[in-house]
Structure 1
């Protein structure tokens, strides 16, 4: 009978209600949950619709709990404590730093994050790391991987994650190419472009704003391919600073461009967020992936 009374309540919505209770605003709750404020709004509205009560009064200075909201908060705290106790009891065998851990990232990020990953493996030799390097998006909800290290503007709302650092891009060319071509008119400078028909990537968006409309182009379908062609002296490419800034063969053309607003996130499948292996990797990535690792030029605005 009790199960029937609460069958319409989605347990995954409870933390969103609690975050608004504690933060007093959608924006504060969104920061606590690591999601967009629209996600919090939708979750709260769904709970209120299913329960048939108003949990918050929407006021100009924030969200204030109604009597029903206060009751929900008191009972939900007890509920979450109980659920945490169950999870800890059932996950006790998973507290050891051993077993399999699958991490997905892009080929270009792996190029600069290899020392970070190697250091984690040396610290935890009993963890069986499996690294998947692919530019295609993988679905953590389908358990393609336990953790993703990915650049994104909008991390999926169901994943648990931390924003690490912004992804900064700039235009680069081989120093010999630029020495020979720097005096040419813009329409004669060749650009190496990423095959990105919708111009979704930071590289494509910045290149579109920088190059002449009549400039000759060469297109490649991977970031590492763009790096290789630029190193070969073919032309100018917009590349992430983590790839190009430390390359002695390349020179930066103009200032770095951070207008596109992409960030590097470390993300995990919700079902494994309490795993000791996942927790250890999160902490390691957060502390080890620094501005120097991503080769962010000094003075870049974070």
Structure 2
């Protein structure tokens, strides 16, 4: 069997004139060079060099094969450079934008796993409640929660699932208070308001529609503050199930409801879809978010209050 690595020994000897000089170039012993040349000649069934006291001299056959050997070396170098360029394209920075609730409550473990799998990719995370314009290169990848994904804007991606919401409290709160059995009983519990941005607007509308402004015990300007207040046991809040079900400290008080037909999407712009590093992030997060969505759906089929002794059949939103 021909060992293609032996061609580098052939070239080194042909270009230096001796196994000793070739060994210095290749940083191996003279004996190793001589042995590899002999192995190459045996594999080819040809004599490539005349062994002389002054060194190795190419035979006529060796002279004929020298240009092809040099072409093989050049092709190998081109292959290595192409692979290196591909690796450079596969690495680098990918700008990811998502609502703060996802950045805080869903993405940390996923991005840790992405880093372990693809250490050459650096994620630049934008925890923004504003919708970044991907067509204007304001971000590379986005997690969008929306009623209608923009059409005609060049966005491509995958639908992750439905945006379900319901009321949550902490395990601390659940252990010391009787929980509401329906939305009418929410007024008897302290509510944590706010959240900022899109979540704050959606949540604020829900509080007003259910007449719960008077039940607000604390108002937070950020999602992080809202989640920490609920986790501390201060009160209840309506939260996206995609985020809250990922937190073992949260207890679902009421059955979930779909939030005005809003859906969760992972998108990028069509001009970036084949950029290796963007494709890698899209594929990785797409699978991770889909698995998370399946887990959330599975958990929503089991009412939390059943564990606490309340009858799930009496709950309604």
TM-score, structure 1 length as denominator?
A: 0.58
Measure how far apart 1:171 and its partner are: 0.2
CA distance in 1, matches of 2:211, 2:230: 15
SS of corresponding position for 2:173: helix
Indicate the structure (1 or 2) with the bigger Cα radius of gyration. 2
Measure how far apart 1:237 and its partner are: 0.1
Output aligned runs, 1:174-253, within 5 Å: 174-178=170-174, 179-180=176-177, 182=179, 186-194=186-194, 202-210=202-210, 212=212, 214-253=214-253
Matched with 1:49 is: none
1:123–1:213 CA distance, 2 compared to 1 (3 A): closer
Matched with 1:283 is: 283
Output aligned runs, 1:7-46, within 5 Å: none
CA distance in 2, matches of 1:105, 1:209: 27
1:160 aligned onto 2:151: no
Measure how far apart 1:196 and its partner are: 6.5
Q: Quick check: 256-265 or 176-185, which moved more?
A: 176-185
Match 1:170 to one of 162, 166, 187:
166
Unaligned runs of 5+ in 2: 1-84, 302-317
**Contact 2:179–2:253 (8 Å) recurs in 1:** no
CA distance in 1, matches of 2:123, 2:173: 41
CA distance in 1, matches of 2:204, 2:245: 18
Measure how far apart 1:143 and its partner are: 1.3
Matched with 2:114 is: 120
SS of corresponding position for 2:290: coil
CA distance in 2, matches of 1:182, 1:128: 44
Output aligned runs, 1:50-65, within 5 Å: none
CA distance in 2, matches of 1:220, 1:244: 17
SS of corresponding position for 1:290: helix
CA distance in 2, matches of 1:213, 1:108: 22
CA distance in 1, matches of 2:223, 2:242: 12
CA distance in 2, matches of 1:198, 1:213: 18
**Contact 1:193–1:219 (8 Å) recurs in 2:** yes
Please report the RMSD computed on the Cα atoms of aligned residues, expressed in angstroms: 3.2
